[in-house]
């Protein structure tokens, strides 16, 4: 993804599509907004990697299938109320495919490796908003199985990963499971997605700066202590370690589950959160093993990572007060 005039235009049209989905009062306009987001994002996936074109085709095919199912469900609505249950199943399934949520998550893992860092961050954050808005509009009630599968698959499958990109993809699958519990409340959904987007951008910025793709590169990388500390803090935040932002995301979801008496989901979330914390702590310790090995002339250097290091700490009270006010 390059910052030129074409990329700026595509980003603008992508955001117009997101706003169009949010502000539409009929299904055809929502479908047009979803297609506008899709067509704007696909060119942004192109980069110098020879496999990026393959990822573009895979992404287009999967999203086209989901859009076709969405149009088919709109057609069923015209028939009458006799097929409303079938319509809700098809519509929810199409949005789950677009989200990349379990059990329709395989396409995310297939296309994420060749993507650039900015394209990957956009796919894991901003691209989730239009399907979530549609699911909020239909008030989907058949999400128990996708939520449980998302938490279980996202936490268990990542334990065997060495690729940081696939680790972030499984983390996204896990967090989409948590996010779908908040869909009835659009304010909590947007707040959760905002915190998740901010954490992903901070973590993605550090990963892009360090140019690391696998866990073992963290051990051999020779960077300043501030940069490694930034990576450490942001990974702990993604794991939901208190008192960082990720912890308040999980606390908000737990409060929602307790209020709605969803004890099975609450138990599953607590158990799988331990696994998520495990694999992020593994990444954290990999980056800290060589924490003290640095060049002597870097000791007096001005730290470049102070801003990204302090964001998770400084913004935590603000998000905490926002959650309390909800």
47 and 124 together in one domain: yes
126 and 67 together in one domain: yes
97 and 191 together in one domain: no
pLDDT of residue 308: 56
96 and 191 together in one domain: no
Q: Which of 155, 156, 168 is nearest to 235 (CA)?
A: 168
Tally the domains of the chain: 2
pLDDT of residue 205: 80
133 and 112 together in one domain: yes
79 and 164 together in one domain: no
Residue at which a domain ends, from 108, 141, 174: 141
Q: Across all residues in the chain, what is the average pLDDT?
A: 80
Q: Which residues of 25-57 are buried (b: 16+ CB within 10 A; e: fewer)?
A: eebeebbebbbbbbebbbebbbbeeeebeebbe
103 and 184 together in one domain: no
The boundaries of the domain holding residue 43 are 1-141
Query: Furthest-apart CA pair in the chain: how many Å?
Result: 74
pLDDT digits (tens, 9 = 90+) for 65-123: 999 999 888 888 776 665 677 888 888 889 899 888 888 888 888 888 888 888 888 88
137 and 153 together in one domain: no
Low-confidence ranges of the chain (pLDDT < 50): 1
Residue at which a domain ends, from 112, 141, 170: 141
Q: What are phi and psi of 163, to 5 degrees?
A: -85, 130
pLDDT digits (tens, 9 = 90+) for 46-80: 888 788 888 889 999 999 999 999 988 888 877 66
Please tell me the pTM assigned to this model: 0.84
Q: Return the number of other C-beta atoms located less than 10 Å from residue 157's C-beta.
A: 18
CB-count exposure of residue 263 (10 Å: 0-12, 13-18, 19+): exposed
């Amino acid at each position: 993804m390059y910052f030129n005039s074409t990329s700026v235009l595509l980003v603008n049209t992508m955001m117009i599509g997101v706003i169009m989905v949010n502000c539409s009062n009929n299904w055809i306009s929502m479908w047009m907004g979803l297609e506008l987001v899709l067509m704007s994002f696909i060119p942004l996936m192109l980069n110098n990697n020879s496999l990026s074109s393959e990822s573009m085709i895979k992404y287009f095919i999967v999203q086209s299938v989901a859009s076709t199912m969405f149009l088919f469900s709109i057609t069923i609505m015209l028939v009458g109320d006799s097929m409303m249950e079938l319509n809700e199943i098809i519509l929810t399934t199409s949005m789950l495919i677009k989200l990349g949520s379990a059990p329709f998550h395989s396409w995310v893992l297939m296309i994420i490796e060749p993507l650039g860092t900015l394209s990957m961050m956009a796919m894991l954050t901003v691209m989730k908003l239009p399907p979530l808005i549609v699911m909020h509009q239909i008030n989907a009630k058949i999400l128990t199985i996708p939520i449980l599968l998302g938490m279980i698959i996202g936490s268990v499958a990542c334990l065997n990963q060495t690729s940081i990109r696939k680790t972030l993809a499984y983390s996204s699958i896990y967090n989409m499971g948590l996010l779908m519990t908040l869909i009835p409340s659009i304010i909590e959904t947007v707040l959760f997605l905002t915190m998740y987007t901010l954490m992903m951008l901070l973590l993605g910025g550090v990963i892009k700066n360090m140019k690391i793709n696998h866990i073992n590169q963290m051990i051999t990388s020779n960077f300043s202590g501030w940069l490694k500390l930034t990576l450490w803090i942001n990974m702990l935040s993604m794991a939901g370690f208190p008192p960082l932002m990720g912890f308040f995301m999980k606390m908000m979801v737990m409060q929602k589950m307790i209020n709605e008496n969803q004890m099975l989901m609450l138990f599953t979330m607590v158990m799988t959160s331990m696994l998520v914390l495990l694999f992020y702590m593994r990444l954290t310790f990999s980056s800290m093993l060589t924490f003290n090995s640095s060049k002597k002339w870097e000791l007096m250097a001005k730290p470049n990572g102070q801003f990204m290091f302090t964001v998770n700490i400084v913004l935590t009270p603000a998000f905490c007060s926002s959650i309390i006010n909800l």
